[in-house]
Amino acid sequence: MSENNGQAIVKRADRMARSLSPFASEESFDPGQRMAVALSKSDLVPKAYQGNVPNVLIAMELANRTGASLLMVMQSLYVVHGRPGWASSFLIATVNSCGRFTPLRFQYQGTPGKDDWGCRAVASDKATGEVCIGSLVTIDMAKKEGWYQKSGSKWQTMPEQMLLYRAAAFWTRAYAPEVALGIQTAEEWSDVHGNGGGRSQEAASLTAALDADEVVDAHLETQYEDQTDGDLFGPEPVED
């Protein structure tokens, strides 16, 4: 598969996945499987999806439910302790782009470095004008809940960012639960279970990986126009 062809497949599948639920019916599963097979052969998707058709199908379903970019879903869904977890930046981006609310804003209070230092997320409902105020998350809360002391915890090294991430997750569960789909964030899983061994590296890479999301999406948008002539997805897979 050529590089250009692979990028065209990702872009076309990204667009189609928003309207196609591969698990909605037997009829929708067949084209969904064909898309998943093609995507799994692309080196543009994260390693967890390369050669793994079931993982791609799950990502397609989540993209359909959230209305988010399939590529963004793939880059923002992490497996933490055997369970899927969203990157908190994904929740923020999805809320901000859904059109129902004004962009999330974060209000800090208390004294930086002290236990009363905290953050809450705030946005307004565009339809009603209601101000949606999220729960206050503080360093004191993190310590009492045991998040601060966990092995490999980022609360001690990047507390300001962790306050923001937790505030965003609390707000989303209260006002836009359909965005999270009941899936905890990777940071929440790390807080509850800790980061033993190599898992700390996975958690530490979240920020860098998420910063790359906009770069990848912009690269596909600006350099590759619609290249959808012909059947890029090939013949339907043959069952063994």
Residue spans of the chain under pLDDT 50:
196-240
**pLDDT at site 123:** 97
**pLDDT at site 5:** 58
**pLDDT at site 125:** 96
Whether 184 maps to a domain, the answer reads yes
**pLDDT at site 225:** 34
Whether 24 maps to a domain, the answer reads no
**pLDDT at site 237:** 41
Whether 227 maps to a domain, the answer reads no
User: 3-17 vs 26-40: helix axis angle to the nearest 10?
Assistant: 150
Whether 49 maps to a domain, the answer reads no
Q: How many domains does the chain have?
A: 1
Whether 171 maps to a domain, the answer reads yes
**pLDDT at site 174:** 92
What domain range is 102 assigned to? 80-211
